[in-house]
Structure 1
Amino acid sequence: MESLKIVIPSHKRANRVITKYAVSDAIICVEESQAAEYREHNPNSEIVTHPDNVVGISMKRDWIYRHFGDVFMIDDDIKAMRRLYVEKGEKVEVEPEQARTIIENTAIAAKEAGAYLFGFSNAMSPVQYNSFNPISLKGFVNGCGTGLLKGSKLFYIPEIRSNDDYWLSLLNAYHHRICYKDLRFSFEQQDTFMNRGGLSEFRNLTVEQEDFNILQKHFGNAVQLRKGKKHQFQKNIMLPF
């Protein structure tokens, strides 16, 4: 998809943007005040800046969507795109150029299906892949790799500080009813909860509780607490259609 931009939102990780090695020719998007440091450490990457008063991941993502239109936002701590439909012994990691092509082709498929929101599987291992269900048109799209096509009714709000992907998935279900997920591929993240900078600067249980309350206020029982969870505010989306 020629108009699609692949963009890495980043914050205070100038020397640790590993996603540029996982997906070729991705743009790095940072605050204006951090641009010089990012350009120093990423001389071969295009750096796009947003104003410093765009604070927090939700507002950064909203700015990126408004600025680029057709866009795929991918976290800065992605080690590789992974292929889930493999036989034992086959290579799982996808080459950077092919990863870009897969993202672009998925955007085309999403547009043909009438979806504005698109993404990939949350599965970490091929054993979790269901060969009878390679594509899904509903549910949750992980924020580590979120595609948005222009013309939607979707937006982010600043009140959501850590669960922007739940907000967007729920809002998309409310307005558009359909998303597009290619479950044959997923992304491998590296040290996402321990890596300095990024969302780890804001993520804690208080924020998780506040986000959960906001999500329930807007979407009611469509967002519920997860059973067997790692912490008490992990969530499931339960769509009523």
Structure 2
Amino acid sequence: MTASPQIPIIIPSAGRADAVLTRIAGAILYVPESEAEAYAQHNPGVHIEAHPDDAHRNLAAKRQAILDRWGSVFMADDDIAFVSRLYLPGNNREQHLAPDEVHDLIQSTAHAAQQAGCHLYGFSNHPNAKHYYPHRPIQLTLYINASAFGIHQGGQLYFTERTTAAESHWVNLLNARLNRKAWSDTRFCFAQAPGSTFFRPGGQTAHRTLATELADTIFLRRMFGQAVQAKRARGDAAKAHPYQRSISTPL
């Protein structure tokens, strides 16, 4: 039997040379040229690929450049604190996968998604095992968080630099419109460091503002209509800002 081709694993990063948390065997750090040396010093043994500092307007443009260069690819943010198994009893936060196990998980998931005809794939969005349903470990209609996700070529998926920090919502909505399903293996979770999305220095934090969040929400609403809604605070979970959005697809 011919082995499936290995999917490249790319970690886009900027301004966090000494603060990369994500550990995946064989992953490539994709960073600005002026920061490449610092990234190499602080991340020994990790392959570094550099791009011109002014090559990408924002993260969405960088993601599109990664798609153009590597084709079918898996992208992980630089702030993944751990990858855990949600199907085991006990404290799953202590059941972390080793870097080589994460690599193998990505490769096997990419192959399974491809066999199922899914062009977008990922894992659970919830590190808490109470959100895991053992009778539905694989689901085809869930939201795929762009903190750790894969794209297979052939599904017409792309990123637009008209979004500043909404590429996750964009690719999920576009995939729902074009492909109608996404592969989500909810047995595993790529957990981001708490508070990193809005408050951790570097990365998107330097570009995201209330004005860009409003513009992103308006743009997505214009493109996808009622599937884009203003996010509502639920219980004790307050919104991080007034222009947060949620998506609801008919899938």
Q: TM-score range by the shorter chain?
A: over 0.9
Say if 2:169 is the partner of 1:166.
yes
Partner of 1:188: 191
Partner of 1:139: 142
Say if 2:227 is the partner of 1:222.
yes
Instruction: Give distance in 1, aligned partners of 2:243 and 2:135.
Output: 32
Partner of 1:211: 216
Instruction: Give distance in 2, aligned partners of 1:86 and 1:182.
Output: 14
Picking from 230, 233, 237, the partner of 2:247 is 237
Instruction: Give distance in 1, aligned partners of 2:97 and 2:41.
Output: 28
Say if 2:36 is the partner of 1:35.
yes
Per-residue CA distance 1:106-143 (angstroms, 9 max, x = gap): 10011001011111111121122111221111232111
**AA paired with 1:221?**
Q
SS at match of 2:134: coil
- Aligned 8 A contact 1:3 1:70 in 2: no
Instruction: Give distance in 2, aligned partners of 1:238 and 1:76.
Output: 27
How many pairs are equivalent?
239
Q: Which runs of 5+ in 1 are unaligned?
A: none
SS at match of 1:143: coil
Larger deviation, residues 166-175 vs 129-138: 129-138
- Length-normalised TM-score, structure 1: 0.93
Percent identity of paired positions between Structure 1 and Structure 2: 36
- Aligned 8 A contact 1:139 1:237 in 2: no
- Aligned 8 A contact 1:50 1:63 in 2: no
Picking from 148, 152, 160, the partner of 1:149 is 152
Superposition deviation, residue 89 in structure 1: 4.9
- Aligned 8 A contact 1:225 1:236 in 2: yes
**AA paired with 1:215?**
L
Counting only pairs closer than 5 Å after superposition, residues 63-78 of structure 1 correspond to structure 2 as 63-78=65-80
- Aligned 8 A contact 1:79 1:189 in 2: yes
Superposition deviation, residue 178 in structure 1: 1.3
Per-residue CA distance 1:19-58 (angstroms, 9 max, x = gap): 13xx222110012222222222223111112233212110
Instruction: Give distance in 2, aligned partners of 1:69 and 1:223.
Output: 28
Superposition deviation, residue 150 in structure 1: 1.9
Counting only pairs closer than 5 Å after superposition, residues 40-119 of structure 1 correspond to structure 2 as 40-52=41-53, 53-89=55-91, 91-119=94-122
- Length-normalised TM-score, structure 2: 0.90
Superposition deviation, residue 151 in structure 1: 2.4
Larger deviation, residues 198-207 vs 153-162: 198-207
SS at match of 1:34: helix
SS at match of 2:141: coil
